[in-house]
Amino acid sequence: MTTEQARRFVAKSRWIFAKTMPRWPHWYCLRRDALLAGHEDEFLAMVAFIREVGVVRPWPRDARVPRYHHTYLDLDGWSYWTMGAPVEETTLINRARVDSADQFEQTRLEVDR
């Protein structure tokens, strides 16, 4: 997948607000919805793309002992991540607005590639 293909996937996907976690506002798209819309292959490619070019960051970022370390892909002001299951078993992709420090790290890695 390329960055432009990732943008097209994001644009065509249905993003649902995670209302059970209002303290950490984010949205998600479901593999099931991608399957029904006929682009499950793009969903899986996006998951692989996140894992290939993303940056591992702790969450919560400011916690003394972070609960998770996920791979995040920052794209057009949004961070995208999954919960870490193997690509073929992943059922959703999350997204939240990018933190400016995170965006700097992603950009630095892309320039260094």
Residue numbers of the chain with a pLDDT score lower than 70: 59-61, 63, 66-68, 100-113
Order of strands across the sheet with 27-30?
16-17, 27-30, 92-97, 78-81, 68-75, 55-59
pLDDT at residue 75, rounded to an integer: 95
pLDDT at residue 64, rounded to an integer: 75
pLDDT at residue 62, rounded to an integer: 72
Q: Which domain holds residue 10?
A: 3-112
pLDDT at residue 21, rounded to an integer: 82
pLDDT at residue 43, rounded to an integer: 98
SS3 call for 66: coil
Count: domains in the chain: 1
pLDDT at residue 3, rounded to an integer: 96
